[in-house]
Amino acid sequence: MNTQAKPPSFPPQRPPGGWKLPAVLPITWKKPFEWLWMGLKDMGHSPWLSLMHGLVLALGGGLITWLAHDRFWLLAGAVSGFLVVAPVLATSLYAMSRAIERKEPVNFGLLIQTWTRWQTQRFNEPASYWCLVRFGVLLGLAGTGWVMTSSALITLLTPEPVQTPMDFIHHVVLSQEHHVFELWLVLGGLLAAPVFASSVVAMPLLLDRKLNTLQAVLISWKTALTHPLPMALWALLIMGLSLFGVLMLFVGLVLVVPILGHASWHAYRDLVDTSDLAERTPSQGTL
């Protein structure tokens, strides 16, 4: 009989009942406001590093608008994809909040490490840092799907062609002859809800714990379904602040992005019981 012990592997072998999702911690409906306050405090810890993230996204949004200002669907697609992928772009903000929580140094080197460490990982390793990249691709595809669906809806139901942002305002938003705008908002909400449920804690979770993308998404869904009202409030706050930042000609994103990024870390920490989840550590070649 071969009694040689088998080497450990990751992810661990599934127990008879399958992989068990971690517990979701109890919260009150007021928690989203506390997350924003904690995000503001984290931003104050290293303001220049935090605001740099917002500045990069604001410049990116401004560049998109400048390049596609007279082509509505290109502009809508770029901005939608930009906002959907924003949780991925905020990864180093999560790393900063984690370092603050652990009383570790928060400096530019931390940001460099966060954005370069994934390149040293094997792409096929189930719980490697590549999971962050894969999830970002999925979010980008979700944004593309929304723009294609939106374009098809308005093209089919609007009698006038919509080619520019002003066409959209005149023929869809301000039109009194049909209810395309209301239908467009409902459809957007229906498509945005599963994206939010899939990502509400997934990105900071993938940064912090050794999980693959599917596991992180399942935990995120469990979180959203366990606390539907606080999560709905959190989604409204994120949407409202992001819309404010965009309507301020993207300048508002300089402040909004770091607050939401840091706050999202605290949301993850307050929502998910990570005591049984393996931690990513630099000694293992991951973050």
What pLDDT digit, counting tens, does each position of 208-258 carry? 998 888 899 999 999 999 999 999 999 999 989 988 988 888 899 999 999
Amino acid at 46: S
* Dihedral (CA of 36, 41, 47, 53) sign: negative
- Residue 272, beta-bridge partner list: 24
Instruction: Report the alpha-carbon distance of residue 170 to residue 160 in Å, rounded.
Output: 10
Nearest to 264 by CA among 52, 86, 20, 82: 86
Residues 6 or more apart whose CB falls under 8 angstroms from that of 24 comprise 222, 223, 226, 227, 271, 272, 273
pLDDT per position as a tens digit, 79-93: 776 777 777 888 999
pLDDT per position as a tens digit, 171-203: 787 877 778 888 888 888 888 899 899 999 998
The structure's pTM equals 0.83
Q: What is the mean pLDDT of the chain?
A: 82
**Contact (Cβ atoms closer than 8 angstroms) between residue 132 and residue 140:** no
Per the structure block, which two tokens stand in for 97? 């909040």
Q: How far is CA 234 from CA 31, 61, 81, 103, 197, in A?
A: 9, 23, 20, 27, 11
**Contact (Cβ atoms closer than 8 angstroms) between residue 96 and residue 105:** no
**Contact (Cβ atoms closer than 8 angstroms) between residue 163 and residue 193:** no
| Choice between 107 and 139, residue whose per-residue pLDDT is larger | 107
Task: With H, G, I as helix, E, B as strand and everything else as coil, classify residue 190.
Answer: helix
Contacts of range 98-107, beta carbons closer than 8 Å, 24 or more positions apart = 98/204, 98/207, 98/208, 98/265, 100/42, 100/45, 101/265, 101/269, 106/45, 106/46, 106/49, 107/46, 107/49
pLDDT per position as a tens digit, 50-71: 999 999 988 988 887 787 777 7
- pLDDT-derived band at 155 (thresholds 50, 70, 90) equals confident
How is the chain split into domains, by residue range? 31-272
Q: How far is CA 133 from CA 19, 116, 126, 258, in A?
A: 23, 12, 13, 20
Over residues 91-115, mean pLDDT: 92
